[in-house]
Structure 1
Amino acid sequence: MAYTHVQTFNPEILYAFDPLNEAGNYSKTHSHNFLEISILLEGEADYLVDGERQDLGTGTVMLFNPGVKHAERQKEGTFSHQLHIGLTNLSLNGLPRNHFPNKRALLDLGCYADAFMEKAWRVTKEFNEQRSEYQLMGKGLILEMLGLLLRSLEDGSDNTIPLALSQTAVRQQHLVNHAVYYLENHHSEEITLEQLAQQLFVSPAHLSKIFKETTGLSPIHYLIHVRLKHARELLKQEEWTIKEVAQAVGYQDAYHFSKLFKKYYGTAPSQVAKEQRTV
């Protein structure tokens, strides 16, 4: 089966970083409210994964769904070079939002392992070097990695859970996916809840209820998130004024935009621009 719909599948990369862990390094047992992929590029590490302690080596791939507890420590005389990728806004057909269909976090990629690791190293290179369009290149590689993970899970694996959503929930999922797609691609325009609902042929009340149940945000608050996320990237990358950035993401009032931005990120847009331009 196809887990993705190409038009609306657009996960957001929260982070991609590759720490070099030396003996004594550890992280306490924790979980996330998003999806995380952890890859041992080199070395070895002691992980609490799937409920037990395991010594894992180079080439190990783990995929932690939201709420799955895990921890790690670096034993004496060992090191590890790892890549961690955090993802949200990820929706697969028939599954809860931000979930993959794996029963266990520890994955066996089989014949896809070499291709997956090659792309993991390329992601590491892109995010470390930060050359022109590194985020686009990195996202393209991560999308390919997600495709390989899904193929490995579907190829006769016993590590795949059955579809967890009812037909009604699947229809609601598709509605939210199309709403998110519209907001992502029209965020610079004037959008009201009524206009969005009209585009999707549902009532505003129904859309608002289903959207918040699925994402935790109202459609309008999600729109604000999208706009400010794009604004932050523009402030980091472009020599634009605050007013120009505000207008580019859909705000005609630069003062209102600045207040929203500071409330959301804890810092003024002018400070983000200043820090970027002094690097």
Structure 2
Amino acid sequence: MHDISLYEKKIINDEEFPVQMFINQIRMPGTYCLPHWHEHLELHYILSGRGNFICNQKQLEVTEGSLVIINSNELHKGSSNTKTFDSLVIIFEMSAFSKEIANYNVIFQSLVEGDRVIKDILLSVYKEDLERKHGYKLAMKGKLYVLLSYLLRNYVTERLSERENRSRIWNLSRLNTVLQYIQEHYTEPVTNKELADLIHISEYRFCHLFKESIGQSPLNYINEIRLKKAYYLIEQNEISLSQIAALVGFQDYNNFGRLFRKYYGCSPSKV
């Protein structure tokens, strides 16, 4: 059984530098990160390529120079629209990095474009990490404090109450059961009512909650899983395309081909 969860627990081991930083390098169009959420503040600064993010229901188109800010307890997913897609990812353990900022419980603007101050700070932090001269962590920490102060003063959209924050976490947690079921049964016909019954709500309420949280309809989400599995099987080149379509849950081969071209930009035979 494949265990799937929307919740992702970040583990940052350095108490003196409670920040995780890395370059995410994607070399094919498609999923950048699967839907998930966590308590940490996460920044994605796009170094090259074009893509899309969904952050708490908002569709974001990103390109070189875009900064995506993923707030605490905010469901998000991302995809690359180009073969090459590189981003600088910075994840803060905010309660350890700055209790002052953690206690504000603010919501930052999800997408920032063309801000030269942010670009200069992030590229400077990245350079420090690459060169790793004496005192580089101290230098990086200082620059990141400057960055967060700048974001607080220029890109805060609202503050959440404790009740609003708990409600957001509850809705996200309920969907784990649904996603687990989809992962185990995507090769079969799956109805919205069947999924709604799993968490004991009406079909109408379920569809609204799912789209509100995941950013797409249940059917589109299921088909996305099927298409990714199909792409993997096609690369193995062991069975025919019609067999693959049936194996991953598509009953209509023509529909499979149409959705595959829409998602990957080419026909299944061109993989």
TM-score (norm 2): 0.47
Higher relative contact order (CA 8 A, sep 6+): 2
Which TM-score applies when normalising by structure 1? 0.46
